[in-house]
Structure 1
């Protein structure tokens, strides 16, 4: 099977540090793949909190993960301090991708590259929602669409 290749941006807008805990180690005595997904989740939460958002309140709607890709480049062990560089890319009208570069501070080696696709979701109405204007304004001002048309400013449209 061919390896997945993730093309990541050169610049990330946020970074946070997390330490590998003993509970993150698997039978191979290194960071487990399931635990990496949990660490990526924590990094995404910290990214959102940095912009005064939570997963359940981004301009009145939440977000839902639709897909995830993780490619491992090197091992990581107990007590390693990892830097999670986080950015957002590939907007569509309902979501975007969070991208991650995970680097081990010990030796400056890349541990993993990852992406999580997300859609914005109105949990009260149980339907997807357009990307909230405030998310663009705070997190991706260079990507903000023209909100002068009615269709671009609607925040509760369902999928086409």
Structure 2
């Protein structure tokens, strides 16, 4: 679907000398922001006066990630429902080794009504097309 580059910064490093667990979600968000920008959207504006809200996330570290590592973050939709969708993340390091995976469930959110809402049609069509292409790979 979309691949973003992320360089591991000092703020991403924990007391153990490697990337902290919560920092993976920051990298996922950065990739998501970049992807949305390429399709003319943002986290606060996904169409029809709706934005995104994170409902759930999981992260699985497969290898240690260190300061200065360049990560390639591939994101693609794996599930699309009425008011939410799930993006999967596969992260490789500069050597092409998979170091991290995870999923983020994002809800379409009406910030004026403070409740979940149907995914806007424009975004839903993009997600369905990307999911269909990924399912064939």
Q: TM-score, normalized by length of structure 1?
A: 0.77
Residue by residue, what CA displacement relative to the aligned partner does 1:91-123 show, whole Å, maximum 9, x if unpaired?
A: 111111011001001x22111100001110100
Residue by residue, what CA displacement relative to the aligned partner does 1:113-137 show, whole Å, maximum 9, x if unpaired?
A: 0000111010011111101100023
* Shift, 1:22, TM fit: 1.4
Q: Distance in 2 between matches of 1:142 and 1:39?
A: 21
For residues 6-155 of structure 1, the aligned pairs below 5 Å read 13-59=1-47, 60-105=49-94, 107-141=95-129
Number of residues of Structure 1 aligned to a counterpart in Structure 2: 131
Q: TM-score, normalized by length of structure 2?
A: 0.90
Larger radius of gyration: 1
Q: Distance in 2 between matches of 1:30 and 1:113?
A: 16
Runs ≥4 residues deviating over 4 A: none
- For structure 2, the 5+ residue unaligned runs are 133-137
Contact 1:136 1:143 in 2 (8 A): no
* Shift, 1:142, TM fit: 6.6
Greater share of residues in strand: 2
Contact 2:77 2:130 in 1 (8 A): no
- For structure 1, the 5+ residue unaligned runs are 1-12, 145-160
Q: CA RMSD in A?
A: 1.5
Contact 2:78 2:131 in 1 (8 A): no
Contact 2:45 2:51 in 1 (8 A): yes
